Amino acid sequence: MALSDDIELLAALPLFSGLDNDQLRLIAFGAEHRQVAAGQALFREKAPAECAYVVARGEIELYVIGRDGKPHLETRVGPGVMLSELALVTMVERKYTAVAAADVDVIRITRALFHRLLEEYPQMARQVESRIKQSLAALIEGSEALAPRFS
């Protein structure tokens, strides 16, 4: 993919919406593309997450280990989806195993790159903080909606 295609893809992500072209260009330039062959795992559930991935081409199947100890397909994601967004900010575990459904191209964004950008652009840090707060609020709201099932 061309740098301009990467910038366009990154600009469409909720986490990066509102960033200017120069900021998006720095992310795209500092990130790396990885190809994953069909059937190969991009990462495994419970592994430490030191980066996020953006699906640029192809589809990825997301599996979680069920109570029976077997992997269960949760969903399929395609271009324009960011996986493990929270890994850009802090150390977390992968919540699922990601397997290429077909040949896939992903953009790998490391936590170190992201932190450098936040240090260089304090206004970007405020925007990202706001987006993360919105995501956490939505997550909390969703979990509260499930609470009656466990009462």
Q: Which domains are delineated in the chain?
A: 3-145 (2.60.120.10)
Residues whose CB falls within 8 Å of the CB of residue 5, separated by 6 or more in sequence, listed in order: 56
Other beta carbons within 10 angstroms of residue 132's beta carbon come to 16
Tell me how many degrees the CA angle 5-94-1 measures, rounded to the nearest 5.
15
Coil, helix or strand at residue 136: helix
| 27-80 per-position pLDDT tens digit | 999 999 999 999 999 999 999 999 999 999 999 999 999 999 999 999 999 999
Q: Can you give the pTM of this predicted structure?
A: 0.85
* Residues contacting 118, CB < 8 A, separation 6+: 124, 125, 128
